[in-house]
Amino acid sequence: MITIYHNPRCSKSREGVCLLEDNGIEFNTVKYLDEKISLEELTGILQKLNCKPIELVRTKEALWKESYKDQNLSDEELIKVMADNPVLIERPIIINGNKAVIGRPTERILEII
C-alpha cells in the first residue's frame, strides 16, 4: 500500500494526491502536521528516501531561518528538530514498500507507483 505524507495546505502535496487518484492508486494519507511522526518513523522515511536529514528540511521556512539555520546540527539533532517541528519536513513524501520519493516535482511520484 502506498502512503503519502500530506499537507492539505500545500499545492504540491495536493497535486500528489490528485496524481495518485487520477492513476487509480489506492493509498493511505498521513496528515503529518496533525499526526506526530516519531523519531523512528522519520528515520525509516529517510532510509527509504536514501537521503541525509538536511535534504528533507524545508530550509526556506521562517522557523528554520530564525531558529536553526546557523546551528551546526548533527543528523540525529536534525531528525529530532523535524520530529518536533513537522512544518520543517519537505512534502509530499510518497512511500511504496521500501522506496520513497519527495514529490517535487509531482511527476517524481510516478517513479515508484
Active site residue 51: no
Q: Distance of CA 43 to CAs 4, 22, 47, 105, Å?
A: 16, 30, 6, 23
Nearest to 59 by CA among 43, 41, 50, 71: 71
What digits encode the pLDDT tens for the residues 41-83?
999 999 999 999 999 999 999 999 999 999 999 999 999 999 9
Contact 18, 103 (CB under 8 A): no
Domain boundaries, the chain: 2-111
**Into which CATH architecture does domain 2-111 fall?**
3-Layer(aba) Sandwich (3.40)
C-alpha cell at 84: 518536533
Whether pLDDT at 15 is above 90: yes
Nearest to 33 by CA among 61, 10, 6: 6
Contact 69, 94 (CB under 8 A): no
pLDDT, mean over the chain: 96
pLDDT confidence of residue 36? 87
pLDDT confidence of residue 70? 92
pLDDT range class, residue 1, cuts 50, 70, 90: very high
Residues 6+ apart with CB under 8 A from 51: none
Establish how many alpha carbons lie within 13 A of residue 31's alpha carbon, considering only the half-sphere containing its beta carbon: 5
Calculate what percentage of the chain has a pLDDT beyond 90: 98
Which one of 5, 7, 10, 57 is the catalytic residue?
10
